[in-house]
A and B are shown apart, each in its own frame.
Chain A
Amino acid sequence: MRRDKKEEEEGGGNPFHNLEKTSVLQEARTFNETPINARKCSHILTKVLYLINQGEQIGSTEATETFFAMTKLFQAKDPILRRLMYLGIKEMSKIAQDVIIVTSSLMKDMTGKDDQFRGPAIRALCSITDNTMLQSIERYMKQAIVDKNHAVSSAALVSSLHLSKGSSEVVKRWVNEAQEAVSSDNVMVQYHALGLLYHIRKYDRLAVTKLVSKFSKHSLKSPFAYCLLIRIASKLMEEEGAGTDSPMFDFIENCLRHKSEIVIYEAAHAIVNLKNTSAKELASAIPVLQLFCSSPKPTLRFAAIRTLNKVAMKHPAAVTACNMELENLITDSNRSIATLAITTLLKTGNESSVDRLMKQISSFMNEISDEFKIVVVQAIQSLCLKFPRKHNVLMNFLSSMLRDEGGFEYKRAICDSIIIIIEENADAKEAGLAHLCEFIEDCEHTVLATRILHLLGREGPRTPTPSKYIRFIYNRVILEHAPVRAAAVSALAKFGAHCEELLPSCIVLLERCLLDTDDEVRDRATFYVHVLQQKQKAINSAYILNGLQVSVVGLERALHHYTLEPTEQPFDMKSVPLETQPMTEQKAVREPGDTAAPKSTDKVAASRQDVYAEQLRAIPEFANLGNLFKSSSLPVELTESETEYVVQCVKHTFGRYMVFQFDCTNTLNDQVLERVTVQMDPAEGFDVLKTIPCPSLPYNKPGTTYTLVRLPEDAQLVTGTFSCTLKFIVKDCDPNTGEPDDEGYEDEYVLEDVEVTVADHVQRVMKPNFSASWEEVGPENELEDTYALSTMKTLEDAVKQIIQFMGMQPCERSDKIAEGKSSHTLYLAGVYRGGHDALVRAKLALSDNGVTMQLTVRSSDPDASEVLATAIG
């Protein structure tokens, strides 16, 4: 650097540094002086442009003043000054007033002799022209489009396109000129003319088809024009649903042999993106992209790999041919290219290439940032789920990644992946747990350590050799800080509760924690030692293995409520609302290189019931119904979606009542509904007690009405069908103002029936250790029966339907069925209305005519057992 460093720092190197808006605009008054000093004025004008470019706000008055001063400069002939003026006019056209004052000066330049001014003058002119003015310059524009000077012609074409946004009718009259310009020998004129021509005709499909077939033979000169034509052709194919026999496709395919890379890539890209491409069509495009992958230009490599990545999502087999090239790209210095290459490879790779691929990846893992490593971890995770037999290699890889340096997010991604793999693949469990054990030996992240200890406590006791995990866990008790020690104590207790032969040793270990310095650790240890010493399975299950299943928010609220009203009665755990299980977790699959990942929506589901509870509590009529037991998860549509009134129903179950919530929407803009209620015709045993009307239902504003129903006295009568009618008073109103008439009339609208099912009385509850709970509830109220389910053809189908009927939570992953099995046992857990634990074991076997099921129900309440046992029939 030959420049003076100090000068640089002070901004001395930048003559435009620290420009003041007011002083520059002051300087702009120099424009009014005569004779004009072109050099000085150019410099000032540049300053003005620089200020605007920096985003400086210039007020309308200031801008107008400067603009008018600037118009004086038309007297000067200096070319640079004139060109800068055009820029100034364009920039100011949006902020200054009365800019059309320069129209005649610009028109003079546009039709003048000086070719250098004509193009820019046209563009400046069009930026200040509005619809009314367009007529007067139309003649000149037409001439300019077909002008023999390329710059003039291009400028006119591009400006026409800008103008056509406002007034397409006038521009449409220039179609002949545009047509003529396409045959220009200048590439840019050709491109712009084709663009304008298409824009004018784009709603006339026949004309567009002609346009494509004409120019595809005509052999255009401009690569850009070719790209445009390819896009037009592929859009046409898309709209017509044309296949490969279409002449359009021939044209695109021919473009693959064009001499310009831009055109070749555009054609390949178009073929890949056609809606119904099969491997056959891809066959022509893939080799081209393959060639581009080894180009020295990063942009070309990027373009190619990005397109291949897209192909790999739908047709992984087609990309396999490029694997060699892709593998070279995973070490590319451009990280975007490298990551795209990896993810593509992982999609295309077959089972046999996994080992080799993993080796390749491990060689450069150190060079990439955490952000990209996470992408790789996710890719491995999905690979592991795709090829369960490869879990060994992949698991080893993940564990070696775990040992490497890395931030919290990265480590967490790895742990998450290992945990998911363990849960999905029983074969990988032991290896996975071993890796995690090793990881917590030297783990600086408390969150991860506690999480892994919890997992060990849950999964460890059920492995063939639970004893080997004890050492790892006890090490944590000795070496770690309080939160980890507490988690380790809980994990130890679980081993003791589940494995009888380990019980004495576990008690000894736990007793050593009784003198821990931390309160939480000491309390946990004391509690667990006492529970374990009882040696009762039911107690173990309830207090160690299967913990509390209440909603934390609900528990907090219930306890707060309890402390507010002093009472002699002990606090009743059954009054606390249960934790709702999120239905199914949507796993968001993130595609690297694409736009921001979709936001996860899982969390909403968990707290939905709390929201409902809050809403219902706000209604005075419902204040003494007790605690909300369950709200049905998805609203049921009681109308077709396209009708006058749209009604959805949500069922809320309380101890002895049900509340039906009807969310109504009025889709007629000339009506207002008032006093809207839903009349329910109760099924046998049910009593409708009260309806809470929705006072007014204007157009498109959802409103809610409730109906309260008392459940039958007979505890075993829980299901029924209600026929519903929407009743309301209609008032016609003005669609524009929404002002209703005074007079209204009564009307009604028949809705679909609402069903109350067994599932409405059962809340899903997850029992991490089903067998312990099974023993805990005991055989007292056990019912058993055998059913032949002839309508169900597969085990998957049966499992799905049973879960749906019962409304219970599948445990021990028993909702997943190993492939090719002919029998299966489904474990379901839930809580029946009134807070009674309910467990179901369904042994399923596939037979010639459907599925045979042996159903065993255990519950702490005889009625609950009876209801559940008859739920399927």
Chain B
Amino acid sequence: MDGGILEPSLYSVKAIAILDNDGNRLITKYYDEQFPTAKEQKQFEKNLFGKTHKANSEIIMFEGLTCVYKSNVDLFFYVVGSSHENELILASVLNALYDSINQILRKNVEKRSLLENLDAAFLVVDEICDGGIVLDSDASSIVQKVSIRSEDTPLGEHTMSQVLQSAKEQIKWSLLK
């Protein structure tokens, strides 16, 4: 069935993935049986990465699924849902994922930093989505629930570029609103 009415359900996310810049998985979580084995999952990730790593265009229809994605330095964040799912819900999950990771890693969103904080990253993914149901989509509330290490950074530890970056972000957001 194409289009038609979406079945009212809370199960909206099929998978969340964070890949590195070679398309290898760092963290992935599948919430239904579409890709039952690790082999199929990895093949899907590889294909998806091949389609998305060059063009940074945020959203793609891929193998009958809607995938929203975002990348920074050497990390690629994906949220996958059914092709009938509201794309904006998926996008808000992606933003929650990215922003939470961003806060946890103190704006050093890159592979090395992610691996150093892998425990926290696992917890973030766990707090965002439980078995396919969106648990929370507000980054600050997610980070608060994970509640580790993020707030104990004194301002002095930020490098100048990070401060500038965050200022830029804030200005950008205020403009977009």
Which chain A residues have a beta carbon within 8 Å of chain B's beta carbons? 3, 13-16, 42-43, 45-46, 49-50, 53-55, 57, 79-80, 83-84, 86-87, 116, 119-120, 123, 151, 154-155, 158-159, 161-162, 188, 191-192, 195, 198-199, 202, 224, 227-228, 231-232, 234-235, 238, 261-262, 265-266, 269-270, 273-274, 296-300, 302-303, 306, 310, 333-337, 593-596
Contact = CB atoms under 8 A, between A and B. Distances in A.
Interface in B10-60: 10, 25, 27-29, 38-39, 41-42, 55, 57-60
Contacts of B41: 55
B148 interface: yes
Which of A16, A238, A302 counts the most B-chain CB atoms under 10 A from its CB? A302
A274 B4 CA distance: 7
A475 to B, nearest CB: 42
B55 A162 contact: no
B164 interface: no
A3 B147 contact: no
Contact of A161 (B10, B55, B88, B122): B10
A196 to B, nearest CB: 8
A235 B5 CA distance: 6
B28 A53 contact: yes
Interface residues of B, number: 57
Interface of B: 2-10, 25, 27-29, 38-39, 41-42, 55, 57-61, 63-64, 68, 83, 86-92, 111-112, 115-116, 118-120, 122-123, 126, 130-131, 133-138, 145-148, 176
Contact of A83 (B39, B83, B123): B123
Contact of A303 (B8, B87, B123, B176): B87
Given A13-B115, A154-B135, A188-B136, A299 B59 contact: yes
A116 B145 contact: yes
Nearest to A55: B38
A195 B88 contact: no
Contacts of B9: 195, 199
B58 A334 contact: yes
5 contacts: A123-B130, A161-B133, A274-B5, A299-B68, A336-B59
Contacts of A192: 10, 133
Given A55-B42, A296-B176, 8 more contacts: A14-B111, A43-B119, A79-B147, A84-B122, A192-B10, A297-B91, A300-B88, A334-B60
Contacts of A266: 86, 88
Contact of B59 (A195, A296, A302, A596): A302
Contacts of B25: 53-54
Contacts of B59: 298-299, 302, 334, 336
B111 A13 contact: yes
B19 to A, nearest CB: 12
B123 A79 contact: no
B6 to A, nearest CB: 5
A297 B88 CA distance: 10
A299 B91 contact: yes
A235 B122 contact: no
Given A13-B112, A116-B145, A231 B57 contact: no
- Closest 6 pairs between A and B when the two form their complex, measured CB to CB: A55-B38, A334-B57, A195-B10, A595-B64, A231-B8, A298-B58
Which of A54, A123, A299, A303 counts the most B-chain CB atoms under 10 A from its CB? A299
A334 B55 contact: yes
Contact of B5 (A86, A273, A595): A273
Contact of B88 (A42, A84, A261): A261
B8 A235 contact: yes
A336 B61 contact: yes
A50 B118 contact: yes
A262 B88 contact: yes
A716 B7 CA distance: 63
A46 B119 CA distance: 6
Contact of B60 (A83, A296, A336): A336
Contacts of B112: 3, 13-14
Contacts of A232: 8
A333 B146 CA distance: 37
B83 A595 contact: yes
Contact of B86 (A42, A54, A162, A227): A227
A46 B5 contact: no
A273 B38 CA distance: 36
Contact of A231 (B5, B116, B146, B176): B5
Which of B27, B90, B122 counts the most A-chain CB atoms under 10 A from its CB? B122
Contacts of A202: 8
Contacts of B126: 86-87, 120
A165 to B, nearest CB: 10
A234 B7 CA distance: 10
Contacts of A15: 115-116
Contacts of A45: 119
A355 to B, nearest CB: 30
A198 B8 contact: yes
A873 B26 CA distance: 77
Given A53-B28, A334-B57, A191 B10 contact: yes
A273 B3 contact: yes
A42 B8 contact: no
A195 B131 CA distance: 14
Contacts of A80: 119-120, 123, 148
B150 to A, nearest CB: 12
A649 B64 CA distance: 40
A595 B65 CA distance: 8
Nearest to A592: B61
A644 to B, nearest CB: 33
A195 B133 contact: yes
Given A55-B41, A232-B8, A273-B5, A42 B119 contact: yes
A3 B111 CA distance: 11
A154 B61 contact: no
Nearest to A234: B5
Nearest to A208: B8
Contact of B57 (A199, A303, A335): A335
Nearest to B86: A266
Contacts of B39: 55
A441 B38 CA distance: 52
Contact of A298 (B57, B92, B136): B57
A13 B24 CA distance: 14
Contacts of A334: 55, 57-60
A331 to B, nearest CB: 13
B32 to A, nearest CB: 12
Contacts of B6: 231
A188 B135 contact: yes
Contacts of B120: 80
Nearest to A595: B64
Nearest to A83: B123
Contacts of A155: 130, 135
B133 A596 contact: no
Given A154-B136, A161-B133, A224-B89, A273 B4 contact: yes
Nearest to B65: A595
A84 B115 contact: no
A671 B126 CA distance: 56
A195 B63 CA distance: 28
Contacts of B91: 297, 299
